[in-house]
């Protein structure tokens, strides 16, 4: 794959009350005919799919959807007159290289309110997710954890009321990721006075979560998702603030020990286009990547391409 340097873009880091601007080099690859991208029709629906998460062994793909169809789902009308449901978390199993028909996680994880932003722990044992259930403020929400493949009556544990208080400064979130040592949260979120989302670090100090720090990956434009690999350093994120192909594009970078990004790579014209692309995750070994394009799940076959896009 031939790479060309694109532009130097000024991005802003918010560390507490201090502001520092640094220049980030963005690399955009030339078209690569070895990358094959196709929609996963078995997983998609007429409704919106989002927030992908894949297990470290590549056997399960989790996502959120507002397709409804469960006994707890109640439809509501959008301002445009469409009938939708609050989001639930669904999962598909990969059997002999083929994704099976997805199914909803049980009631107790999913509720009549919105569940979203699944994330799998680095050891593949724990499912983290967001839930706006009626008691989220009293039960250490809105982020919870449970067994990866939960029983029919799952037991949940909130991530703690100290984190709940930290999250009260945000009006909305886009994605959640937790470092392997469970001392750093990578959160895409927005504040009430702002009209777009940014990427934040939330660090743990002892048993307390510190005030969120805006990451150097954030731009004055919108960020949508950030996926942290099990190595705790490789990040795939979506942004409209870097040079790309239109709308939200997906990028890759590597963080140093202080959370500062290295060179930023656009994933290229096969994955990114004029539509919004976001929520990228990659299977173990880097042979396949999965992402959302305009509300549908796509697969990117990376088995024949060079490893610049891989962890």
What was the pLDDT predicted at 30?
87
Surface-to-core class of residue 33, CB atoms within 10 Å of its CB (0-12 exposed, 13-18 middle, 19+ buried): exposed
Structure letter (DSSP) for residue 307: G
Distances (CA, A) of 26 to 29, 93, 98, 246, 267: 10, 35, 34, 15, 11
Residues 164-181 pLDDT 10s: 988 889 989 999 999 999
Tell me how far apart the alpha carbons of residues 120 and 60 are, in angstroms, rounded to a whole number.
10
pLDDT category of residue 143 using cuts at 50, 70 and 90: very high
**Dihedral through CA 176, CA 73, CA 150, CA 300, nearest 10?**
-50
Nearest to 152 by CA among 124, 110, 207: 110
| Predicted confidence (pLDDT) at residue 34 exceeds the cutoff of 50 | yes
Residues 233-277 pLDDT 10s: 999 999 999 999 999 999 999 999 888 899 999 999 999 999 999
Distances (CA, A) of 29 to 156, 299, 305: 43, 19, 12
Q: Which two tokens stand for residue 33?
A: 């005919």
What was the pLDDT predicted at 298?
98
Mean pLDDT value across residues 212-231: 93
Residues 55-69 pLDDT 10s: 999 999 999 999 999
Tell me how far apart the alpha carbons of residues 262 and 114 are, in angstroms, rounded to a whole number.
35
Residues 269-284 pLDDT 10s: 999 999 999 999 999 8
Distances (CA, A) of 278 to 74, 205, 298: 27, 31, 10
pLDDT category of residue 191 using cuts at 50, 70 and 90: confident
| Predicted confidence (pLDDT) at residue 4 exceeds the cutoff of 50 | no
CA atoms within 13 A on the CB side of 261: 31
**Cis peptide leading into residue 293 (ω within 30°):** no
Question: Could you give the strand order of the β-sheet that contains 288-293, starting from the edge strand earlier in sequence?
Answer: 36-39, 296-301, 288-293, 277-282
3-class DSSP state for residue 284? helix
Contact 1, 35 (CB under 8 A): no
Structure letter (DSSP) for residue 42: T
| Predicted confidence (pLDDT) at residue 90 exceeds the cutoff of 90 | yes
């Amino acid at each position: 794959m031939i790479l060309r340097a694109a532009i130097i873009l000024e991005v802003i880091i918010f560390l507490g009350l201090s502001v520092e601007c640094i220049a980030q080099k963005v690399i955009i690859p030339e078209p690569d005919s070895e990358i094959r991208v196709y929609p996963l029709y078995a997983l998609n629906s007429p409704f919106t799919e989002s927030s992908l998460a894949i297990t470290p062994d590549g056997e399960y793909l989790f996502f959120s959807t507002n397709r409804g169809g469960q006994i707890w789902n109640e439809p509501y009308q959008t301002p445009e007159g469409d009938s939708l449901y609050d989001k639930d978390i669904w999962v598909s199993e990969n059997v002999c290289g083929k994704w099976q028909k997805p199914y909803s996680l049980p009631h107790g994880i999913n509720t009549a309110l919105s569940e979203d932003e699944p994330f799998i722990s680095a050891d593949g044992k724990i499912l983290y997710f967001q839930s706006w259930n009626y008691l989220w403020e009293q039960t250490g929400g809105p982020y919870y954890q449970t067994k990866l493949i939960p029983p029919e009556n799952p037991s949940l544990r909130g991530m703690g009321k100290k984190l709940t208080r930290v999250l009260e400064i945000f009006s909305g979130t886009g994605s959640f990721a937790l470092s392997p040592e469970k001392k750093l949260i990578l959160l895409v979120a927005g504040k009430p006075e702002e009209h777009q989302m940014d990427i934040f670090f939330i660090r743990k100090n002892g048993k307390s979560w510190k005030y969120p720090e805006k990451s150097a990956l954030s731009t004055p434009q919108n960020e949508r998702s950030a996926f942290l690999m099990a190595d705790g350093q490789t990040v795939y994120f979506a942004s409209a603030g870097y040079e790309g192909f239109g709308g939200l594009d997906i990028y890759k970078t590597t963080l140093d020990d202080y959370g500062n990004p290295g060179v930023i790579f656009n994933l290229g014209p096969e994955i990114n286009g004029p539509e919004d692309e976001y929520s990228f995750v990659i299977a173990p070994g880097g042979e396949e990547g999965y992402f959302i394009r305009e509300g549908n799940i796509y697969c990117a076959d990376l088995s024949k391409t060079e490893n610049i896009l891989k962890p």
